[in-house]
Amino acid sequence: MKASQFLISTLKEAPADAEVVSHQLMTRAGMVKKLGAGIYSYMPMGLRVIHKVEAIVREEMNRAGSVELTMPVIQPAEFWQETGRFEKMGAELLRIKDRHDRDFVVQPTSEEVVTDIARQDFRSYKQLPKNLYQIQTKFRDERRPRFGLMRGREFIMKDAYSFDRDEAAAKTSYQVMAEAYRRIFDRFGLRYRAVAADSGAIGGDLSEEFQVIAATGEDAIVYCPESDYAANMEKAEALAPAGPRPGATNPMVKTPTPGKSTCADVAALLGVPLATTVKSLVLATDEFNEAGEIVKSQVWLLLLRGDHDMNEVKVAKVPGLNAGFRFATGAEIDAHFGCKPGYLGPIGLKKPLNLVVDRDVAVMADWICGANEADFHMTGVNWGRDLPEPALVADLRNVVEGDASPDGKGRLAIERGIEVGHVFYLGTKYSKAMNATFLGEDGKPAHFEMGCYGIGITRLPAAAIEQNHDERGIIWPDALAPFTVVVCPIGMDRSPEVKAAAERLYSELLAAGLDVILDDRGERPGAMFADWELIGVPHRVTIGDRGLAAGQVEYQHRRHTAATQVAVGEVVALLK
């Protein structure tokens, strides 16, 4: 590829709504362009990265015996009514109507359609096992689309579905996929962890998430450095004993911080970047006696509104909550604030959670508040004059760092991750709902045992950037780079020697099978280097008059601080 023919459009400034570095850098590098909330064009430079991700996924899925197909993006609602998901899925499912007023959905995944294919085409146990996958556009009307491609509404997912004759075979299929996922994520060259995840009502332990480790990740993951125990927080909490944990101490309760807490304090305590968008926070306070026993518990509900003024932060005291916590309904909160109905509420949780009162102050992030539709930035929040000083702010968890690991092999550590993949044993949930059967060896119909397996194709580049960047821009692992090598001629228009050498090297690198771009735009060296450092191409070869006279060019890896001289004839061998 020649840069003059390609579309390169870099920006000095990131857009104001880009909160995390991957969103900032992908926009500045001209990889994505926002069209609407959570809806992006994949620009040529970004699409090349997406294609690299897809190629690796495709190769490993094929190797693992999965077969590619493509299912419709727009799907008739009747299939979704069969499983009940048309109603159950709630607002995340985008429903549309055609000219005849018939209902359709835009696929958020495709269990229904693939199960319909199976019930038509897989008639006998002899045709099993089967595993089908697609790499396709998905739409989820996310409550909080944010962080660019990380949580889009329209995005690309690889979704695979396995069909087996019995549970044992289905579990084997699951393991084959979990293995394939390890190969896939190893090839991306990222630091990741496979963690046990909640398998919901299905039970068993056959659900794992693949989490790319990053401080900006939305998920908390719990692991034991001394063993291979790793789970997401949801799963870890489901296993942990409920209720107040004996011996939990709140050192700050005895030495409350004087003065007001700032937004930065809250962000630090929550372990999130300062510019994190929050809708609402819940605070609970306890008072302890000398013996460390709770003598008084108060739960404060602090609602932060998008249009709030510093002095108008609303605070409600929820009485009578000594032993637990109950989330107020929207109507109660509206009544408390004297607002018109529906003004602040409803408030809900993703799942029920016990707020234990062995902490003096608990702040819970990542809960859903429908109070205000527009997100806002947490800037300069203070606690208001009539509030007690926050003594300690802790994530609302009954699993904390230093707890004994469930396998008894060490202490737990917690880090943040980005969910880039998910493997899940489904059992007969969908096949029963849709009456999808095959003829078993005994001549009787049996329901398919299923599994489903997702990878966030467009989320992955964002996760990779969170892990690989510096102040100058992106640093792609070779496997994901839009181009692996850039040839930068200096003064190409003045020097026929440089031009000829650059073009020759470019052809040789292409012939050697390298994904190379020749920067023939005629930019000044400073601007040219800045562009490629921002875009994150891992290998750069610079050709100038002086070096060339001595038969040399400059090679620099994106991670290195200085270039090395290389003989012109050795460049191809160096990069191969």
CB of 178 to ligand ATP, least distance (A): 14
Strands 368-369 vs 67-68: parallel, antiparallel or unpaired: unpaired
If binding is defined by CB under 6 A, does position 46 make contact with ligand ATP?
A: no
In the bound state with Mg ion, the residue whose beta carbon lies nearer, of 149 and 381, is 149
Q: Exposure pattern of 41-60 as b/e (b: 16+ CB <10 Å)? A: ebbebbebbbebbbebbbeb
Q: Which stretch binds ligand ATP (CB under 6 A): 99-107, 173-181, 417-425, 491-499?
A: 417-425
- Per-residue contact flags (x/-) with ligand ATP for residues 438 to 477, judged by CB under 6 A: ----------------x-x-xx------------------
In the bound state with ligand ATP, the residue whose beta carbon lies nearer, of 137 and 495, is 137
What does the alpha-carbon distance between residue 142 and residue 218 come to, in Å, rounded to a whole number?
A: 14
Strands (E), 428-520: 437-439, 445-447, 449-456, 469-470, 473-474, 485-489, 516-518
SS3 labels along 183-224: HHHHHHCCCEEEEECCCHHHCCCCEEEEEEECCCCCEEEEEC
If binding is defined by CB under 5 A, does position 279 make contact with Mg ion?
A: no
The residue sitting closest to Mg ion, measured at its beta carbon, is 422
In the bound state with ligand ATP, the residue whose beta carbon lies nearer, of 84 and 522, is 84
Choose, by CB under 6 A, the member of 28, 165, 422, 539 that binds ligand ATP. Answer: 422
If binding is defined by CB under 6 A, does position 417 make contact with ligand ATP?
A: no
In the bound state with Mg ion, the residue whose beta carbon lies nearer, of 23 and 422, is 422
Q: Are 455 and 424 in contact (CB under 8 A)?
A: no
Residue 157 touches which member of ligand ATP, Mg ion, none, C-beta under 5-8 Å by kind = ligand ATP
- Per-residue contact flags (x/-) with ligand ATP for residues 126 to 165, judged by CB under 6 A: --------------x-x--------xx--x-x--------
Angle at 68 between CA 163 and CA 422, to 5 degrees: 60
Q: Are 483 and 517 in contact (CB under 8 A)?
A: yes
* DSSP label of 84: T
CB of 96 to ligand ATP, least distance (A): 18
Tell which phi-psi region holds residue 510, choosing left (phi > 0), alpha (psi between -120 and 50) or beta. Answer: alpha
Q: Are 541 and 488 in contact (CB under 8 A)?
A: yes
CB of 274 to Mg ion, least distance (A): 25
Q: Tokens at residue 336, please?
A: 């408390």
In the bound state with ligand ATP, the residue whose beta carbon lies nearer, of 454 and 536, is 454
Residue the block writes with tokens 């023919």: 5
The residue sitting closest to ligand ATP, measured at its beta carbon, is 456
If binding is defined by CB under 5 A, does position 422 make contact with Mg ion?
A: yes
Strands (E), 214-279: 219-223, 230-232
Residue 420 touches which member of Mg ion, ligand ATP, none, C-beta under 5-8 Å by kind = ligand ATP
In the bound state with Mg ion, the residue whose beta carbon lies nearer, of 381 and 460, is 460
Cβ atoms within 10 Å, residue 354: 14
CB of 77 to ligand ATP, least distance (A): 20
* Paired residues of 209 in beta bridges: 195, 422
Residue 456 touches which member of Mg ion, ligand ATP, none, C-beta under 5-8 Å by kind = ligand ATP
Residue 452 touches which member of Mg ion, ligand ATP, none, C-beta under 5-8 Å by kind = none
SS3 labels along 280-327: EEEEEEEEECCCCCEEEEEEEEEECCCCCCHHHCEEEEECCCCCCCCC
Q: Which stretch binds ligand ATP (CB under 6 A): 389-397, 419-427, 528-536, 555-563?
A: 419-427
* Paired residues of 318 in beta bridges: 299
Q: Are 519 and 538 in contact (CB under 8 A)?
A: no
Choose, by CB under 6 A, the member of 53, 236, 420, 537 that binds ligand ATP. Answer: 420
Q: Which stretch binds ligand ATP (CB under 6 A): 58-66, 164-172, 334-342, 414-422?
A: 414-422
CB of 105 to ligand ATP, least distance (A): 15
If binding is defined by CB under 6 A, does position 421 make contact with ligand ATP?
A: yes
Of residues 71 through 100, those in contact with ligand ATP by CB under 6 A are none
Catalog residues that contact Mg ion under the rule CB under 5 A.
Answer: 419, 422
Catalog residues that contact ligand ATP under the rule CB under 6 A.
Answer: 140, 142, 151-152, 155, 157, 419-422, 454, 456, 458-459
